[in-house]
Structure 1
Amino acid sequence: MEIPVSFKEFDIVEVRFKGGRKEFFRNINHLPLITGDAVVVDVPNGHHIGHVSLKGELVRLQMNKKKVQNNDEIRSIYRVATEKDMEKFNLAREQEPTTMYRARAIVQELKLKMKLSDVEYQADKTKATFFYSADDRVDFRELIKKLAEEFKVRIEMRQISLRHEAGRLGGIGSCGRELCCSTWLTDFKSVSTTAARYQNLSLNPSKLSGQCGRLKCCLNYELETYMDALKDIPNVNRPLQTKAGDAFLQKTDIFRRIMWFGYRGDSNWFPVPVERVQEVLKMNAAGDMPENLAEEVKKQLPEVVDFVESLEGNLDRLDEQYKAKKKRNKKKGKGTAPAAEALATGAPTPEARRDQPTGRPAGGERRPRPERNGNRPEGGENKPRPEREAQAKGQQPQGKPRPEREPRADREQNQGRPPREGNRPPRQERAQNPRPPQNKPQPMAAQALGNATVATPDRPERGPRPEGEQRGRRSRNRGHRNRKPGAPEGGSPSPQPEA
């Protein structure tokens, strides 16, 4: 969009310096400036470099807002800064940190009650401005003399408030954004604790104060909105009198226009609309008291109660959802039983599996179980025990004392067996198929006698096993059970040589 020919651009430009400081300068040379350009401006006793922050008709509005008059006191802009100007300006800014540290040391030597926060060198390095904050007036005449001797420049001391100090240093506020005083806020208004009271904020200094140590400036942003909303809300200075007891004000929701009251000794709070509170106040002023504040709330505030009931209903539906999941899991577990029964009925019987040893007779009948004393029941039938009969009928079997077991040797004599020697019974002699002795490693006792073999009286020598005959697994592993170290594979201990 082209500018009209008759339109004359405003010739004053706003220039920003270090720390957010802004001043107005006149563009007498009509330079084509753009926001952000570095320009050399006229300052008392020299020149300085700043950046263009605003131009055009908006500058006129800012001057009206800050009440700056458009007269001859406004200084002019010399030129756009060149590379040589920027090099000198950068060299001057690099000396600022060391200058501030040395100036703080001098302040401590003089024992002055002031705090140096920042130093700003002029672009031509002819003047240094020291910004400080102090609670009382400070006599810094001796300080200026020492600083001038130390840095060989003109010294200017400028006192700033704590809010301006925080704006110059910058930082991040509790809201997570950059401080307002270092970005856009230029006018600092006084903030009091009444602003926090009107907004029902907790009067906690650590939460209400900013990085400058004063109350936050943002407390004034919404104060007017709260003041307009508080016009129709009554000021309750005394508790509401009811027949159920005195109701004390606990909290006020300003924008929803609901006030919460609680009885003495009761931890429950009851919401009451502003209209109902005004009625109760009028009744108390006339000497009358309502029946119960909670009942009135239920009649006049069905929405609040419905909201609570709907919330509880949602929780109940959530519980029912989890119960339905548990029922589905139980149904899935029940459905596995018929499948297991089908697999059990379709399994092959022992008669069909003739290739595998079963340990049962071919007829499928159970072999009668012998009694412990060696006597079998008459007729070869297994009679169930009385305890098992009671257990099958669903009765609890009576606990009978278990008879003591006979010693092993006596039990073997009653069964007509010879007593065992050691851990294994003696083997029976085999009359047929004598087996020749095999070449096996001799025990240590036999090697000590010159590898002389000693024949055992219990085991005769065996002959070769005929072809096709296999040795039973039980007899194969018998020679390896409970064998002591140093004993032969036959299992019987080797006799010790006679002395």
Structure 2
Amino acid sequence: MDLPTAFEEFDIVEVRFKGGRKDFFRNPNRVELITGDPVVVDVPNGHHIGHVSLKGELVRLQMLKKKVDNNEEIRSIYRVANERDMEKFNEVRDLEGTTMYRAREIIQDLRLKMKLSDVEYQADKSKATFYYSADDRVDFRDLIKKLAEEFKIRIEMRQISLRHEAGRLGGIGSCGRELCCSTWLTDFKSVSTTAARYQNLSLNPSKLSGQCGRLKCCLNYELETYMVALKDIPTVSRPLQTKQGDAILQKTDIFKKMMWFGFRGDNNWYPVPASRVQEIQELNAKGTVVEFLLQEAPPEPKQNEFVTQVEGNLERLDDKFKSGKKKKKKKKKTNPDGAVTAKPAPASAAEPRAAGEQPQHRKQKPFHQKNRNKTEGGNAPKQAAQPVQNAQPAQTASGDASQQPRKQKPRRPFNKGKKPDQPKPGTNA
């Protein structure tokens, strides 16, 4: 077997210029090129600088797609641009902004109905191309004369559509990505509102139009898929006749092949398969009125669980507020023995005191009230402080201590149940 011969690469290269404009150039000197390299190419009346966007066999396919013939009209590539070429090219590009603003002032003075969108200088600064858009034909012969006198350069006027204008300016679409016309889309096909109708989109101009003011190009991307899916869905031009009433089409789910119908005076929608709709249409055409939309009676709509839960909570709240608050009963004070102590009647100051009767002492507060006074920062009673270490039995003038009123022992709120340490009689603490 013979060894394979060396593969010869396709000698035509695709070169991209400012604004996404692309053209094909021949590489006769077989210069080694890489995608993205700046190259100096031959143009009418001079030379220009562009960047390699495609090379190899893909260029052959691209030429077949755009119907470009491989003949002698294709111009050639001189060389790869060096630093000096790029410096001159950048200086020329810096003049484009000021030139465009000055040209707009001249257009405004001449009162021409046109919109100047961009200016492109040739790399050798021998020609400037002015891109504009207009609704009607514009007579710009006087404009060209004034522009040539102002900038001392050869002028070329090129009219572009609004879609090309948006592609040259660039931007971000409603999808969050860069505009298709400024990245990869080169052929602009006509877009109509029928594409939106087939896809069940709302005919809202603000949502269907792009930055160019025309209908979005992406409406045509999925149109073929919708057209194929719509073949199995019947066309409903009149309501379906049932014993429940006339069913009116409300919505169609194309890919699930489900159609939603509703009755007059009923807010509920009922899903019906496309095959069942076609069957009902055939029966109605013969004069038969079906009993139900589906083969069986539709189930009753179930109430949402969340709604039932909320309604139950509201009913419980109503019952609670209707019953009212219950009054708390006062508990009677009990002794440690379990006997209930009655509240003594208040003694009047006018009644004489009996012989040997001791004066009534002020009733002390219960323990829980004492503890609350301490926690709330109030003044606690002096008896409830710390236990007295040198406690001596108090004696009256008669010497009988049993007749004295019983002195309550100090209580500790936090050490309940523990008795305080009492010193032995006759000793000092």
> Structure 1: how far apart are the matches of 2:50 and 2:4?
30
The answer (yes or no) to whether the contact 2:117–2:165 under 8 Å persists in 1 is yes
Once residues 23 and 227 of structure 2 are traced to their aligned partners in structure 1, the CA distance between those partners, rounded to angstroms, is 36
In structure 1, the residue matched to 2:49 is 49
Q: Which amino acid aligns with 2:254?
A: I
Counterpart of 1:77 in structure 2 is: 77
Q: How far does the alpha carbon of each residue in 1:138-192 deviate from its partner, in whole angstroms, 9 at most, with x for none?
A: 1111111111111111111100011111111111111111111111111100011
Unaligned runs of 5+ in 1: 299-304, 324-359, 375-410, 418-467, 471-499
- Range 253-262 or range 5-14, more displaced: 5-14
Q: Closer, same or farther in 2 for the Cα pair 1:297/1:208, shift >3 Å? A: farther
Aligned to 2:258: 258
d(CA) in 1 for partners of 2:281 and 2:100? 64
Q: SS of the counterpart of 1:173? A: coil
* Other-structure match for 1:166: 166
Residue number in structure 2 paired with 1:94: 94
User: Does residue 245 of the first structure (1) align with residue 182 of the second (2)?
Assistant: no
Classify the secondary structure of the residue corresponding to 1:413.
coil
Task: Find the aligned partners of 1:53 and 1:44 in 2 and give their Cα distance.
Answer: 21
Give the aligned residue type for 1:177: R
The number of residues matched between the two structures is 333
1:236 maps to what in 2? 236
Name the SS of the counterpart of 1:167 in structure 2. Answer: helix
Structure 1 counterpart SS, 2:290: coil
Please state whether the residue corresponding to 1:247 is helix, strand or coil: strand
Alignment of 1:3-14 (within 5 A): 5-14=5-14
Paired residues of 1:233 and 1:274 also in contact (CA < 8 A)? yes
The equivalent residue for 1:412 is 349
Match in the other structure for 2:293:
293
Q: Deviations over 1:354-383 (max 9, x none)?
A: xxxxxx99x968795553343xxxxxxxxx
Contact preservation (8 Å) 1:14, 1:52: yes
Q: Using the alignment, how far apart are the partners of 1:208 and 1:11 within structure 2? A: 43
Kindly tell me: are residues 63 and 367 of structure 1, through their superposed partners in 2, closer, same or farther at Cα, counting changes over 3 Å? Answer: closer
Q: Distance in 2 between matches of 1:297 and 1:190?
A: 47
Q: Which amino acid aligns with 1:372?
A: A
Contact 1:373–1:414, Cα closer than 8 Å, also in 2: no
Partner in structure 2 of residue 224 of structure 1:
224
Q: Specify the SS of the correspondent of 2:349.
A: helix
Q: Which residue of 2 aligns with 1:58?
A: 58
> Percentage identity across aligned positions?
74
Matching of residues 249-328 of structure 1 within 5 Å: 249-293=249-293, 296=296, 298=298
Cα deviation code 1:50-94 (max 9, x no counterpart): 000111111111111000011111111111101010000001111
**Residue matched to 1:122:** 122
1:32-62 CA-partner distances (Å, limit 9, x unpaired): 1111100000111111000001111111111
- Aligned partner of 1:154 in structure 2 is 154
Post-superposition Cα deviations, 1:1-50, rounded to whole Å, max 9, x if no partner, equal: xx953432111100000000000011111101111100000111111000
Matches within 5 A, 1:169-208: 169-208=169-208
The two structures have a TM-score, normalised by structure 2, of 0.72
User: Match of 1:8, as an amino acid?
Assistant: E
The match for 1:30 is 30
Q: What amino acid maps onto 1:24 in structure 2?
A: F
Q: Deviations over 1:378-413 (max 9, x none)?
A: xxxxxxxxxxxxxxxxxxxxxxxxxxxxxxxxx322
Which SS does the other structure have where 1:34 is aligned? Answer: coil
What is the rounded CA distance, in whole Å, between the counterparts of 2:115 and 2:205 in structure 1?
23
Runs of 4+ in 1 over 6 A off after TM superposition: none
- Separation of aligned partners in 2, 1:107 and 1:90: 27
What aligned pairs does 1:332-371 form with structure 2 within 5 A after superposition?
A: 369=342, 371=344
Q: Distance in 1 between matches of 2:340 and 2:290?
A: 92
Write out per-residue CA displacement over residues 100-127 of structure 1, whole angstroms, 9 at most, x where no aligned residue. Answer: 1111111111111111111111111111
Q: Deviation digits for residues 232-288 of structure 1, max 9, x if unmatched?
A: 211110000111111000111111111110001111111111111111111111111
Structure 1 residues 103 and 293: alpha-carbon distance in aligned structure 2, compared to 1, 3 A threshold: same
Residues of 1 paired with 2:73 and 2:293: CA distance? 70
What amino acid does structure 1 have at the position aligned with 2:155? I
Secondary structure at 2:350 match in 1: helix
For 2:112 and 2:199, the matched residues in 1 are separated by 41
Distance of aligned partners of 1:232 and 1:364 in 2 relative to their CA distance in 1, 3 Å threshold: closer
Report the Cα distance in structure 2 between the residues aligned to 1:370 and 1:271, rounded to whole angstroms.
Answer: 79
- Give the partner amino acid of 2:218: C
TM-score for the superposition, normalised by structure 1: 0.62
Is this contact kept in 2: 1:270–1:297, CA < 8 A? no
Larger Rg: 1
Q: Find 1:372's aligned residue among 335, 345, 354.
A: 345
* Greater helix proportion: 1
Deviation at 1:416, TM superposition (A): 5.3
Q: Distance in 1 between matches of 2:297 and 2:150?
A: 77
Counterparts in 2 of 1:373 and 1:469: CA distance versus 1, 3 Å: closer
Partner Cα separation in structure 2 for residue 27 and residue 62 of structure 1: 16
Choose between structure 1 and 2 for higher RCO, CA contacts under 8 A separated by at least 6 residues: 2
Which amino acid in structure 2 is aligned with residue 190 of structure 1? Answer: S
Q: How does 1:433-448 map to 2 (within 5 A)?
A: none
Give the counterpart letter for 1:187 in structure 2: D
Contact in 1 for aligned 2:191/2:217 (Cα 8 Å): yes
Structure 2, gaps ≥5 residues long:
314-333, 355-389, 393-429
**Whole-angstrom CA distance in 2 between matches of 1:179 and 1:415:** 110
Q: What is the letter of the counterpart of residue 414 of structure 1?
A: E
Question: Which amino acid letter does the alignment assign opposite residue 63 of structure 2?
Answer: M
On the 8 A contact 2:276/2:294 being kept in 1, the answer is: no
Distance 2:338 2:132 in 1: 111
RMSD, aligned α-carbons: 2.9
Aligned-partner Cα distance in 2 for 1:176–1:78 = 40
